[in-house]
Structure 1
Amino acid sequence: MKEFLRLLAPLRHKLMAERFLKWFIYGETAAGILCLAVVVLSKFWTEIPSLPLCGVFVLLGLLIALGAAFFLRKVTEK
């Protein structure tokens, strides 16, 4: 059984990478939509700092992707 689990380890790593990339795309798409909304709003209200807010949204999307991929549901032997 240990030999079988050892042989499945590369597949587990690939599945974790695939899950991370999927959540990364979702998170960064949401961050891009929020950045677009901030940039459009900053054209009407000049008090909104668009560049720092967009940077925060992109980093938040990355953190959501990391958290969802590695801590939400882990890839197990099943």
Structure 2
Amino acid sequence: MKNSKTVIYPQQCPIPIPDNYPAKLVNNVNDLHQAVFTGLFQNHFLAIINRLHSLTKVSQKTLWGNAVNTAYGIFEELDGYANQ
């Protein structure tokens, strides 16, 4: 079975997780947040920012600033829905 990039916080998972499921299991919310942010920023935004920089020559600092500001707004909005 191919390795999954899924991260599960078992305490909040409403269904049983099979023993052989290839997801990464985390034991606290901080580890969950770290895994999600690492996956998002290192595995997605990094490639996009590098490509945009190579095509446009806009500074990476500016591109990262825009990415972080946009992501922060999205996470704030999602947090509002999660707390309803």
Give the TM-score normalised by structure 2.
0.45
Higher helix share: 1
Higher strand share: 2
Give the TM-score normalised by structure 1.
0.48
Larger relative contact order (C-alpha < 8 A, sep ≥ 6)? 1
